[in-house]
């Protein structure tokens, strides 16, 4: 691990998980979980941002780390939220405190999962270069992020100067701007998939890029 980042902006457990989502089961058909698990079967996997705000998220059927643990050959999680990492370590999870923008674990992974993370960062170069350092020629970096063209965002933007979001977020990415960013680091985007948890969105008679809350991108090294 390299350097140090001020973690005072992390709200941690102030952003509580919904107890209604607590379950011993895993929501394998959830759009985020389905996307990352299909790439992670029998692979050596690193998940960045594994705490997912509230350490109690480990009880949720939507906790990505729990889903990855059921399919990966090996799994390591990192997060800047030290108290959350300590909590999960005491429960037996293989997780470490580390900064997504400057980390060095001394090994390469088949798959790196960065779900709902990049929009929290301010050093995209550090993040992508660290990920690239931990990838081999056939590795995949899986990035999930909110969709700025989601129909409810568009409606709110028409009615207000600002759209409320997670107070930790620093930016919005669309597939094109994400593609242009990773291209600067010798990387390409393969598959792009949109998804939403809400049934109302799935049934909305709109194009995929408008009706879904998130998009997921498969990133690989191109040089």
Go through the domains of the chain in sequence order and give each one's CATH number.
21-221 (3.40.50.150)
Looking at per-residue confidence, does 53 or 134 come out higher?
A: 134
Phi, psi values for residue 91, rounded to 5°: -90, -5
pLDDT at 1: 41
Rounded (to 5) percent helix, strand, coil in the chain: 35, 25, 40
State how far the Cα of 99 lies from the Cα of 78, in Å rounded to an integer.
Answer: 8
State how far the Cα of 145 lies from the Cα of 193, in Å rounded to an integer.
Answer: 11
Residue 31 has pLDDT above 80, yes or no: yes
- Proportion of the chain above pLDDT 90, given as a percent: 83
Report pLDDT digits (tens) over 103-131.
999 999 999 999 999 999 999 999 999 99
Residues 46-77 as b or e (16 or more Cβ within 10 Å = b): bbbbbbbbbbbbbebbbbbbbbbbebbeebbb
- Say how many C-beta atoms besides its own lie within 10 A of residue 127's C-beta: 25
pLDDT at 4: 58
Segment 2-31 mean pLDDT:
79
Segment 190-199 mean pLDDT:
95
User: Is the model's pTM score more than 0.85?
Assistant: yes
Is residue 61 within 8 A of residue 67, CB to CB? The reply is no
Report pLDDT digits (tens) over 86-107.
999 999 999 999 999 999 999 9
């Amino acid at each position: 691990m390299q350097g140090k980042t001020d973690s005072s902006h992390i709200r941690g457990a102030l952003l509580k998980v919904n107890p209604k989502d607590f379950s011993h089961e895993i929501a394998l058909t959830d759009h985020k979980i389905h996307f990352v698990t299909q790439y992670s079967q029998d692979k050596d996997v690193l998940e960045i941002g594994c705490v997912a705000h509230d350490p109690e998220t480990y009880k949720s059927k939507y906790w990505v780390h729990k889903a990855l643990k059921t399919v990966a050959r090996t799994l390591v999680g990192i997060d800047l939220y030290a108290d959350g990492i300590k909590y999960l370590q005491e429960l037996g999870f293989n997780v470490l405190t580390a900064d997504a923008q400057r980390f060095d674990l001394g090994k390469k992974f088949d798959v790196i999962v960065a779900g709902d993370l990049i929009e929290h960062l301010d050093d995209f170069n550090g993040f992508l270069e660290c990920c690239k350092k931990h990838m081999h020629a056939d590795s995949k970096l899986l990035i999930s992020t909110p969709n700025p063209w989601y129909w409810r965002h568009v409606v709110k933007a028409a009615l207000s100067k600002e759209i409320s979001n997670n107070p930790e977020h620093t930016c919005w990415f669309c597939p094109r701007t994400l593609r242009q960013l990773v291209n600067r680091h010798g990387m390409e985007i393969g598959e792009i998939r949109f998804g939403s948890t809400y049934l109302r969105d799935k049934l909305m008679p709109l194009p995929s890029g408008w009706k879904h809350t998130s998009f997921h991108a498969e990133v690989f090294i191109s040089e």
